[in-house]
A and B are shown apart, each in its own frame.
Chain A
C-alpha cells in the first residue's frame, strides 16, 4: 500500500513540475537573439584584446572587425523579422492534457508489464539476521561468523559435512582441516577429510586420503567406513589379495543387516582370484561405493542432515512454490540413498513445476543425473 502511495506522489510531483511552465501566462518566444549578439560582441572585444596584446596587426584587426560587424548586423536584421506566430492558450491546454494523461498512463502500463509490485527488498544483512530454515542462509551466516572468528573449530566442524554434501569440495577440505587443527583429530573428522579428498580426485583414494583414513582407523578400529576405504585403496593399488582379506574382515565384523553388505560382497567377488580382473588399476569406484559409504555413517552428523531435510520437506508441503527448495530436497534424498522418498518428492515437485517447463526440465535432468527412476515419477 505504502508503495502505491509513493508511486502516486512521485507521479503527481513530476506532473506538477512539468505543468508549471505550461500554466504560466502565454508568452512569445524571444526573437531578439540576444545570445548570438552577445557572442559577436564578445568576439569584437577579443579582437581589441589581441590587438592591444600585439597578437594581431592593425589591418587584420580591422578586417576581422568588419566581418564580425556584418554578422552582428545580420543578427539584428533577421531578429525583428523572425517573429513566428505565437500560438494561443488552446495549444498549451492540449499540451497540459497530454502531460496529465501520458505520465500516469505510460508509467503504470509499462510498470505493471515489467515490474514486480509489492516484492519486498531483501538485503542480505536483514536476511542473515533472520535466516529461518533456509539452509543456504544458515551456511552463509556461519561463513560470516567464521570469517570474523576463524579459530572457531566448532563452526568449521559443522560446516565441513554440509560443504561436502553441497559438492563444495575445496571448502569442505579446508573446513575439515581447520576443524582438525582447532579441535584435534577424531575418527569422524579424519574420515570426512579422507572422503572429501577422495571425492575431489574422482573417487581415487589418494595418499593424503589414505593417511586420513588410517588415522581414523587407528582411533576407532571398529568403524566400518575407514576400513572400507582402506580396503578400496588396496584394491585400487592392485593389491587384490590384501584388499580381499580386508573386505572379508569387514564383512565378518558387520552386523547381519548392515546395508553395505551387498557392496562388500561385490568387492570381495571382484578381488577373488577367479573373478574378472579389476578394470584399471586406479579404478573408478562406482557411485554405489560412495553411496554405500554414506550409508555407513552413524552418529550426530547424519541425524542433523536428516533433520534438516525433514524440515525442508515439511516446509515444502506447506509452500510448494519453491523451486530451489525442491531441487535441494530431491537431491538430498538421492544423496542420502532414500530413492523412494526422492522419487516421491520429485513427483510432488512436478505437480507444481510441470515437466515441460523450464524448472520442471531442470528437476528432471537433475533427478536423472542422480540415478532416480524419473519415468516412475512422471507417470
Chain B
C-alpha cells in the first residue's frame, strides 16, 4: 500500500466507526426512549400494550393501597382522569398523596392497569417533576408557590 492508500484506509476505518456509532444511537433511540404522558393523554395516545412510557401526574388523594408484601397501588390523576398504577418496591421518601409523581413502566395487556418499575425519587420538598408541573400549569391546576414567606 502506498502512503496515500494507508491514509485512506485509516480515514475509512474511522468513518465507519462513527457511522456504526450513529446507527447504534439511532437504534437505541428507537428502542429505549420513553414518551411522557399525563393520564388524560392515554385514551388519545392509542398505545400498544407493552410500550414503555412515563406516566406523570398527582397521586390521587386516598388512593394509596398497600397490598401484599411491598406492592403498592395508587392512582395517578391530572384532575380529570385517573389511571391505576401498581408498583413493587420502596417508594421514594417524598411520595405523598396529592403530590406530583412520575412513574415509568408499561400498561398491562387489555387493561388500564399501569405497572410501574420506577417511581422517580430525586425530589426535594418543592420539587414538582418538571414535566408534571408544566402540564398542570397549562391546565390551571397548579400554581408555583411563590418563594419567600407568606
Of the four ranges (under 10, 10 to 19, 20 to 34, 35 or more), the interface on chain B belongs to: under 10
**Which residues 328-379 of A have a CB within 8 angstroms of B?**
362, 365-366
Overall SS of chain B's interface = loop
CA distance A366 to B149 in the complex (A): 11
Cβ of B150 within 8 Å of any chain A Cβ, yes or no, is yes
Q: Once bound together, how far apart are the Cα atoms of A13 and B150, in whole Å?
A: 45
Q: Chain A interface secondary structure, helix, strand, loop or mixed? A: helix
Please name all residues of chain A whose beta carbon is closer than 8 Å to the beta carbon of B149 when the two chains form the complex. 362
Q: How far is the CA of A366 from the CA of B150 in the complex (A)?
A: 8
Tell me, in angstroms, the Cα distance from A317 to B149 when the chains sit together.
23
Report the nearest B residue to A365, measured CB to CB: B150
A206 to chain B, nearest CB (A): 19
Chain A residues near B150 (CB-CB < 8 A): 362, 365-366
Interface residues of A in 248-304 (CB under 8 A from B): none
Inside 8 A of A366's CB, which chain B residues have their CB? 150
Nearest B residue to A358, CB-CB:
B148
Bound Cα distance A362, B145 (Å): 13
Per the bound structure, the CA–CA distance linking A365 and B149 in Å amounts to 12
In whole angstroms, what is the CA distance A366 to B148 when docked?
14
User: B139-150 toward A: CB 8 Å interface, digit per residue (1/0)?
Assistant: 000000000011
Compute how far the CA of A163 lies from the CA of B150 in the bound complex, rounded to whole angstroms.
Answer: 18
The 8 A CB mask of B112-150 against A (1 = contact, 0 = none) is 000000000000000000000000000000000000011
What 0/1 pattern do residues 17 to 30 of A give for CB contact below 8 A with B? 00000000000000
Residues of B within 8 A of A362 (CB): 149-150
Distance from B96 Cβ to chain A, minimum over Cβ atoms (Å): 17
Residues of B within 8 A of A (CB): 149-150
Which 4 pairs from chain A and chain B are nearest by CB? A362-B150, A366-B150, A365-B150, A362-B149
Task: Provide 4 A-B residue pairs closer than 8 Å at the C-beta atoms, listed in order of the A residue.
Answer: A362-B149, A362-B150, A365-B150, A366-B150
